[in-house]
Amino acid sequence: MSIETIDAEDVEVEEVLGSAIKRREDPSLITGRAEYTDDIQRPNMAHMAVTRSQYGHATIESIDTSEAEAMDGVIAVYTAEDFDVPGELPVGWLLDSLRTPAHPILASERVRYQGDAVAVVVADDRYVAQEAANAVDVDYDRLDAVTDPDEALEDDAPVLHEEEGDNVALDWELGDAEKTDAAFEDAATVVEADLHNQYLIPNAMEPRATVAEYNAGSGDLEVNMTSQNPHLHRLLMSGVIDHPEHKLHIRAPDVGGGFGSKIHHYADEALTALCARELERPVKWVATRTETYETDALGRGHVTHAKMALDEDGNITGFDVDTKASLGAYLSTFAPAVPTYLYGTLLSGQYDIPAIHVAVEGAFTNVPPVDAYRGAGRPEASYVVERMMTLAAREIDEDPAEFRRKNFVGADDFPYQTEVAVEYDSGDYEKTLDEALDALDYDELRERQEELRDEDRYIGVGLSAYIEACGLAPSELAGQLGAQAGLWESSLVRMQSSGTVTAYCGTSGHGQGHGTTYAQIIADELGVPYDDVEIVEGDTDEVPQGMGTYGSRSAAVGGSSLATSAGKIVEKARQIAAHQFEADEEDVEFENGEFHLAGAPDESVTIQEIAGQAYLAHDIPDDMEPGLEATSFYDPENFTFPFGLHACVVEVDPESGEIDIERYVAVDDVGNQINPKIVEGQVHGGVAQGLGQALYEGAQYDDNGTLLTGSMQDYVVPKAEHIPEIETRSTVTPCPHNPLGVKGVGEAGTIAAPQALVNAVTDALQPFGVDDIEMPLTPERVWRAVEENGGGN
């Protein structure tokens, strides 16, 4: 059922957009020719390693670097006092209630999570550097720690940032509390639940890494790093290490996945750059897998109490959500946006809910900073909405599919203004539900479920009607909400005089196949062969400006910017063609790469020929500048709201707690698809991560803040054998406000999958009265849930 790929040379220009062309980036990736940061070698390069706290919370009494300094091969050892720079990591999203305690790149008085950096060592050799980092003698006085956001907000909790008085990082609400209270007063049914969304470790295949070189002659500092947004990193790092932005060059070589973890500005990359500048020598730092587990920003970490009000006909009349969200020990770059605007605004789900109120308290806790991880806020919202929809349907004894259908925003109701600030652009939710029910053969499935129960076999069906917001956002609106950056995207498209094209885009792909899909967009807009288009990303020296890749924004915002730049080229080329035809511009038509006069298609000139003329500049219109290139800054009008219906069918063994996934059906609507194969791949990857959360993953800390799941042996990520065949289908409801009609797909699967699985397992266990099991649904937890309900006896 998987989509067949096509070789680019077999695709006509007019069909290039929307074709499942093979990803052009794969041959180099799968034959070992890719260049990752750790592959970079420089003459005289030194290596940096970091001394990190092994305590979750402690004061630093003293730091003795003498033993490390005396080791053979050690070049320098630095602590906080050695760097005369601002040295504090900034927060890129501010809220009125937000507290912003200092986030130093090296701790000097107190450590607040296991992995907090205290010193760095630079040595000739990576292993010597690590050994010396271990030899830095830090005298700690251990403090009580707290890792759970609910507990961190209690009066007697140990306080992380004493100057703040308590652990409240932010206090935020959205929606109409009074109206929502009134809905509950009048409700025929009220459904309540406590829902947890555990800490996740992003686990990109390639650990974070940096190679920095400083040219003392020119003052240029060149930093190769694992980045999802080099231009943003340039801006942030220039402040942290006090280096002029125009003298800082950030490049992301091939990046082995990020899932959000490589958006943020961490201490380590800034420290590597500082060491290179201090020592005037290239310096490399590569995180060990242990450091990845201890220091990459975590995802999720929510504890929620939710209430849903229904009238006597089963219509939702109110939704009240109270969430305690962990922000970790310090605020990471975009952390404040994640449990607030990326979460609360999605709590209407696919439903017409007349009253919603959400209150979020953010807590400082003794775990690494918590920030965006694939989905960022939207999986947490979708989990709450879709778990509650399932619980409510059970409460009033309605079929979960029909209960959802009854409450959907109707296909004719778009644009739809929710009660939580956002306006959905377009959608047709019944269509994806119907596709999924058809794929499942739903009625037959329910009959089989009944029959099997008589044989003591327990199958369950879980539905997840998810919505997400991507392509963030109109810059002005984002600014009003607290963003400290614009959220446009920029591109430069240049047609060379021979007619080949180089397109530079400010996004920075790291596995999503932008080289392929962007070339499809350009080839389509300009009517040139796909193979004649080269895409450049991820380099502040080559790409004029950019905001990067996250929030599934690249197709909707970056792609739209590319289409806009290419459109400008066509317009300039049209003027040159009109000049050649001695005709008015309005009479010149452009089709499949050729200009001709209206009604005279046989006499045409190709855009490549025009490019030659544009650079020769011997005969172009008066007052026209030579050359054929265009830049644009595309600022979206709105978010775009992809949606879909994921359904999971499981069989659960109540005696062992084991879950067998029989089927996983994913129906997604991401608007027009640039490349259906890449869309399918993104859904597969996302679902794998979502099922990983539901079944296996979860960072666990003990009472001291010590990470108990600090390796791949203890923190289970799903392997191919754990993932069922994912049956994908799609519907197409174009985005009405961007030139390509596209919505994002990069996070859809991760947002949809966890609750599809949990809903399925609890559906299977209805005969045992099991309504909720905390993720991950390990066999032990499933078995305990059955036992706690009397084991069915």
Footprint on this chain of ligand MCN (rule: CB under 6 A): 257-260, 374, 509-514, 517, 549-556, 559, 670-675, 678-679, 682, 685, 742-747
Nearer of residues 348 and 554 to ligand MCN, judged by Cβ = 554
Within 10 angstroms of residue 527's Cβ, the number of other Cβ atoms is 20
Task: Provide the token pair at 685.
Answer: 């990857």
283 versus 376: smaller Cβ distance to ligand MCN: 376
Nearest residue (CB) to ligand MCN, 199 versus 214: 199
The answer to whether the beta carbons of residues 34 and 28 sit under 8 Å apart is yes
Q: How far is the C-alpha of 235 from the C-alpha of 617, rounded, in Å?
A: 38
Q: How far apart are CA 584 and CA 181, in angstroms?
A: 65
Tell me whether residue 579 or residue 743 sits nearer to ligand MCN (CB atom): 743
Q: Which is nearer to ligand MCN, 150 or 669 (CB)?
A: 669
Secondary structure string (H, E, C) spanning 242-284: CCCHHHEEEECCECCCCCCCCCCCCHHHHHHHHHHHHHCCCEE
CB closer to ligand MCN, 550 vs 641:
550
Q: How far is the CB of 767 from ligand MCN (least distance, A)?
A: 38
Residue of 410, 428, 429, 192 whose CA lies nearest to 318? 192
| C-alpha to C-alpha distance for 138 and 55, rounded to whole angstroms | 11
CB of 678 to ligand MCN, least distance (A): 5
CB of 515 to ligand MCN, least distance (A): 9
Are 708 and 714 within 8 A, CB to CB? yes
CA distances (Å), 175 to each of 168, 303, 354, 357, 465, in order?
21, 19, 10, 4, 22
CB closer to ligand MCN out of 147 and 560: 560
Smallest distance from the beta carbon of 561 to ligand MCN, in angstroms? Answer: 12
**How buried is 147 (Cβ within 10 angstroms: 0-12 exposed, 13-18 middle, 19+ buried)?**
buried
CB of 294 to ligand MCN, least distance (A): 20
Instruction: Tell me if residue 57 falls in helix, strand or coil.
Output: coil
Q: Which is nearer to ligand MCN, 554 or 608 (CB)?
A: 554
Closest separation in Å from C-beta 18 to ligand MCN: 9
10 Å CB burial of residue 27 (0-12, 13-18, 19+) is: exposed
Is the dihedral angle over the CA atoms 289, 294, 295, 297 positive or is it negative?
Answer: positive
Nearer to ligand MCN, 32 or 599 (CB): 32
CA distance 79 to 427: 54
Q: Measured from the CB of residue 730, what is the shortest distance to ligand MCN in angstroms?
A: 9
Pick 228 or 418: Cβ nearer ligand MCN: 228
601 vs 378, 525, 573, 598, CA distance in Å?
A: 50, 19, 17, 7
* 314 versus 375: smaller Cβ distance to ligand MCN: 375
51 vs 728, which CB is nearer to ligand MCN? 728
Distance of closest approach, residue 237 Cβ to ligand MCN, in angstroms? 21
Q: How far is the CB of 538 from ligand MCN (least distance, A)?
A: 12
Instruction: In angstroms, give the least distance from the CB of 670 to ligand MCN.
Output: 4
Pick 115 or 515: Cβ nearer ligand MCN: 515
By beta-carbon proximity to ligand MCN, the closer residue of 328 and 681 is 681
Give 177-183's long-range contacts (Cβ < 8 A, gap of 24+).
Answer: 177/357, 179/318, 179/354, 179/355, 179/357, 180/318, 180/319, 180/320, 180/355, 180/356, 180/357, 181/320, 181/357, 182/318, 182/355, 183/309, 183/317, 183/318, 183/354, 183/355
| 54 vs 672, beta carbon nearer ligand MCN | 672
Shortest distance, CB of residue 510 to ligand MCN, whole angstroms? 5
Specify burial of residue 467 (Cβ count, 10 A radius: 0-12, 13-18, 19+). buried
**Residue among 214 and 518 whose Cβ is closer to ligand MCN:** 518
- Encoded tokens for 85: 């720079």
CB of 346 within 8 A of CB of 469?
Answer: yes
Q: What is the helix, strand, coil percentage profile of the chain, to 5?
A: 35, 25, 40
Q: How far is the CB of 6 from ligand MCN (least distance, A)?
A: 14
State the DSSP code for 397: T
Number of Cβ within a 10 Å radius of residue 767: 13
Q: Is the peptide bond before 754 cis (omega within 30 degrees of 0)?
A: no
Q: State the residue for tokens 């003498």.
A: 66
To ligand MCN, the closest distance from the beta carbon of 514 in angstroms equals 5
Least distance from ligand MCN to the Cβ atom of residue 532, Å:
19
Q: What is each CA distance from 380 to 27, 153, 242, 375, 466, in whole angstroms?
A: 36, 20, 37, 8, 11
CB-CB contact of 503 with 533 (8 Å): yes
Token pair 């009580």 in the structure block, residue: 144
- For the chain, the distance separating the N- and C-terminal CA atoms, rounded to the nearest angstrom, is 42
- Give the largest Cα separation in the chain, rounded: 91
- Whether 569 and 493 have beta carbons less than 8 Å apart is answered as yes
Give least dist CB 202 to ligand MCN, A: 8
One-letter amino acid at 527 equals G
Query: What is the distance between the alpha carbons of residues 60 and 58, in angstroms, rounded to a whole number?
Result: 6
Query: With respect to ligand MCN, which residue has the nearer C-beta, 537 or 763?
Result: 537
Nearer to ligand MCN, 281 or 510 (CB): 510
Q: How far is the CB of 747 from ligand MCN (least distance, A)?
A: 5
Report which DSSP code applies to 556. I
Nearest distance from C-beta of residue 686 to ligand MCN, angstroms: 7
Tell me the closest approach of the beta carbon of residue 636 to ligand MCN, in angstroms. Answer: 12
